[in-house]
Structure 1
Amino acid sequence: MQSRLSIARLLIVQTGSTHLHGDYPRWFERALGFEMPLIRAHAGERLGSALDRVRPQGIIVTGSPLSVIEKASWMLELGDDLLRVGARGTPVLGVCFGHQLLARAAGADVVQNPRGREIGTVRVQLTEAGRKDVLFAWARGPEIEVQATHVDAVDPLPAGATVLASNENTAAQAYRLSETVAGVQFHPELWAAAMRDLILSRR
């Protein structure tokens, strides 16, 4: 019963496409164990109509092979719309590209990381705020292992944002903008075997 309720109340905002182990929404569905409604924002689908249809209790913004640095008009509009939805009380979580999209909409800079691409299973350290944050309630200690692949990074964070996690490659591995809006640079939905296949596909 819980899964059925969750299916109806979570919305995936897809921001790009991939074909490894299924598309980005499939990664989240595999991780969470159920299918979710989605909009393909990168293909021109609008957030507003989906909100009316789904009335979500939470929104997940996916990763993408695209770059927030491009500042495409749909990216700018989507980021602003998502912050407004969060301000009205709906939780919004940005993942990788989504993390960068939300941060930039809130006033952050997104740059090509001078430390280079981060890819593979990486270690991330939780800050004191991160250890107390509900986003990391599952963590057993101050350091976690996660799957990551990105070349862009948020630097610096917008005023008022709280860093939840960081490592030597990326200072803002996770942040919270407000009670309802947060982002993670890594991919909590990815599993180690999929990351290995991704690395091999890029050789």
Structure 2
Amino acid sequence: MTRLLVVVPSDTDPPTRLGQWLRDAGLELDERRLSAGDPLPEDLTGHDGLLVLGGPQSSLDDEETSPELVGVRHLLGQAVAADVPTLAVCLGAQLLAQVGGGSTRVGADGPEVGATLVAKRDAADADPLFGPLPLSPDVLEWHHDEIDRLPAGATLLASNPRYDNQAYRVGEHVYGLQFHIETDEALVRQWAEHDPAGVGSSGLDVETICARAAAVHPDLAEVWAPFAGRFADLVRARAHSGHPASGG
């Protein structure tokens, strides 16, 4: 069985639908929930790919503030060095940008919250994961920080008018998504009810944010479940290449 290491920095952002799509695509998920005290492995030996999810922590937190992110950065650095198939979502994408040599900051245009669209960049057409996506796919945003500078040599794959660096690739197989694709209605409601600053910045109320998210969740599944399947193909190809994931 092809094994994917799934790092869950906070119980507020479990794999949810994305986890199910990846299981449906034939991957075995080795889920490590940092909020529950699950240990992270020292390296990626024994895993064929990496998924890092989001959380309320800031990518700008130091080691004292968010010690649990130290090991996450370490694994992302190994994934970049060895070009291990990786999907890093929201906080994960921000940490990936940092370890790759880019940077993050508090969002210059404030929090970005709720259902919206992103637009593929020209480079996305040649990308194995992003190429088949529609030109402007639905996504769910929920972030207070932004990726203000991508790693040198990274390929920008999707943008929107609010924040340019919405999706990118480092090397050939390491992907960062600033937006969320994994949410279900219960998760969005939980976020909305516990983030008054984010909700307030949107100009909408909790019920409207939840209703708009619920309206696009079927479209999210239609577009992003096949995307998850294509990512699973990358992980499977790594497993079958005789070059399993390692410490780089």
User: Would you call these one fold, judging by a TM-score over 0.5?
Assistant: yes
Task: Return 55-64 or 81-90, whichever deviates more.
Answer: 81-90
The aligned amino acid for 2:33 is: R
Q: Distance in 1 between matches of 2:82 and 2:141?
A: 30
Give the C-alpha shift of residue 200 in structure 1: 4.5
Larger relative CO (CA 8 A, sep 6+): 1 or 2?
A: 2
Q: TM-score, normalized by length of structure 2?
A: 0.67
Q: Could you say which residue in structure 2 is the equivalent of 1:136?
A: 130
Q: Could you say which residue in structure 2 is the equivalent of 1:39?
A: 32
Asked if 1:29 corresponds to 2:19, the answer is: yes
Q: Distance in 1 between matches of 2:73 and 2:192?
A: 32
Task: Return 27-36 or 168-177, whichever deviates more.
Answer: 27-36
Q: TM-score, normalized by length of structure 1?
A: 0.81
Q: Report the 3-state secondary structure (helix = DSSP H, G, I; strand = E; otherwise coil) of the residue aligned with 1:103.
A: helix
Name which of 35, 38, 52 aligns with 1:61: 52
- Taking the TM superposition and a 5 Å limit, the aligned residue runs for 1:128-167 are 128-140=122-134, 142-167=135-160
Answer yes or no: is the 8 Å Cα contact 1:60–1:93 preserved in 2.
Answer: yes
The aligned amino acid for 1:29 is: G
The aligned amino acid for 1:173 is: Q
Q: Distance in 2 between matches of 1:33 and 1:77?
A: 25
Answer yes or no: is the 8 Å Cα contact 2:153–2:170 preserved in 1.
Answer: yes
Answer yes or no: is the 8 Å Cα contact 2:7–2:72 preserved in 1.
Answer: no
Q: Report the 3-state secondary structure (helix = DSSP H, G, I; strand = E; otherwise coil) of the residue aligned with 2:149.
A: coil
Q: Distance in 1 between matches of 2:104 and 2:169?
A: 16
Q: RMSD in angstroms over aligned alpha carbons? A: 2.4
Runs of 4+ in 1 over 4 A off after TM superposition: none
Assess, with a 3 A threshold, how the Cα gap between structure 1 residues 31 and 111 changes in structure 2: closer, same or farther.
same
Q: Distance in 2 between matches of 1:197 and 1:39?
A: 24
Q: Which runs of 5+ in 2 are unaligned?
A: 195-205, 207-248
Total equivalences in the alignment: 188
